Amino acid sequence: MSEVTRERVRAAADRLGYRPNRAARGLITGRTGHVGVIVPDLLNPFFADICKGVQARARGLGHAVFVSDTERDEGLEMDAIRTLAPEVDGIVLCAPQLSSEELRSLSDVTDKPIILLHRKEPGFASVTADLVEGMTDALTHLHALGHRRVAYVGGPRSTWTAQERAAGIEAMASSGKVEIIQVGSVAPHFDGGITGAADVVLASGATAVVAFNDIVAFGLISRFSARKVRVPDEMSVVGCDDIALAGMAAPPLTTVHVPKAHAARAAVDLLFRTLGTPAGEDVEPLQRVLPTHLVVRGSTAAIERP
């Protein structure tokens, strides 16, 4: 067929407003043209950023994206996968609550490719951030400012990212350069638990505190402020994630930058790499780990020597 004809047909189709029907196409090709992203809590800007990143990249690749918010509930995480899997070509999964066993049992639930985000599991492709490095940087920064007694307010112990952070903290603790005071584990959203943790930090004699994430850091600062403890003069605070609001707070938060949008794009790219691989000849699942870095802003200061 001639190039001219081709163009005339295309023009006619356009004029009549013809759009191929994805559902009908999917019925025969097995491809839906959709991807899914599952997150524990959209209200946490960290995950909103991830959704935005997935969305942007998927759009660029001509795919629409389903978003599922699992409310940090193990059951809903599993449900979301089961529900979404038949509707999509693949899933970007942030499921901190799911056990390793459940994760591995996913192959019985669906054979759609799943890319883990901010979690590692043997046999799964994943994109993670180097939180061990991030935590080490945070403590090195505090050490350089003269802090020798530093509190760490941890998050939900069971999650992969919490364990990574803990590993970073412990590495520095065992170096003997700074003394670490572990202040329990706190839900990673702003509530009473954080207030309690702030009081424990204050009682511990620590001059600085590293928080599980920026939200927890904000909670701590809020309590410090209510108790008339000035940040950073009397207490230095370091967060983790570098959510957009971290730079807007007063004082702006010193925090570990985690490349959220970048990780999201990388996950989508990994997904399409898998999708592009002919079934049967599966490639070794790639595990990408992205670097983090400390962003020094206004919530940390050199200790005032007595």
Partner DNA sequence: GTGAAAGCGCTAACAC
Partner DNA sequence: GTGTTAGCGCTTTCAC
- CA dihedral 175→128→245→35, nearest 10 degrees, is -170
Binders of a second copy in range 167-196 (CB under 8 A) = 189-190
- Crossing angle of the two packed helices 131-144 and 160-175, in degrees rounded to 10: 40
CA distances from 216 to 20, 58, 155, 156, 242 (A): 48, 31, 9, 12, 12
Q: Is 56 in the site for a second copy (CB under 8 A)?
A: yes
> Whose Cβ is closer to a second copy: residue 1's or residue 24's?
24
The number of residues that bind DNA (CB under 7 A) is 10
**Which of the stretches 12-20, 178-186, 193-201, 239-247 binds DNA when contact is defined by CB under 7 A?**
12-20
- Among DNA, a second copy, none, the one that 167 touches (CB under a kind-dependent 5 to 8 A) is none
Q: Is 22 in the site for a second copy (CB under 8 A)?
A: yes
> Whose Cβ is closer to a second copy: residue 59's or residue 177's?
59
Rounded CA-CA distance 39/92 in Å is 9
Structure tokens at 61: 């690749």
Quote the least distance from Cβ 18 to DNA, whole Å: 7
- Among DNA, a second copy, none, the one that 56 touches (CB under a kind-dependent 5 to 8 A) is a second copy
**Which of the stretches 17-25, 100-108, 194-202, 260-268 binds DNA when contact is defined by CB under 7 A?**
17-25
CA 41 vs. chain centroid, Å, equals: 11
The number of residues that bind a second copy (CB under 8 A) is 49
Considering only 167, 244, 283, 302, the residue that binds a second copy (CB under 8 A) is 244
Helix (H) or strand (E) holding 289: strand 287-290
Q: Is 117 in the site for a second copy (CB under 8 A)?
A: no
Quote the least distance from Cβ 245 to DNA, whole Å: 44
- Scored b (16 or more CB within 10 A) or e, 19-52 reads eeeeeeeeeeeeebbbbbbbbbbbebbbbbbbbe
Rounded CA-CA distance 231/208 in Å is 10
Contact 175, 214 (CB under 8 A): no
Q: Judge if the upstream peptide bond of residue 252 is cis by omega within 30 degrees of 0.
A: no
Contact 43, 71 (CB under 8 A): no
Considering only 9, 11, 12, 27, the residue that binds DNA (CB under 7 A) is 27
Rounded CA-CA distance 19/267 in Å is 29
Considering only 40, 45, 188, 232, the residue that binds a second copy (CB under 8 A) is 45
* Binding residues for DNA (CB under 7 A): 1, 18-21, 24-25, 27-29
* Binding residues for a second copy (CB under 8 A): 19, 21-24, 26-27, 32, 34, 41-43, 45, 48-49, 51-52, 55-56, 59, 64-69, 83-84, 86-87, 189-190, 215, 218-219, 221-222, 224-226, 231, 244-245, 247-252
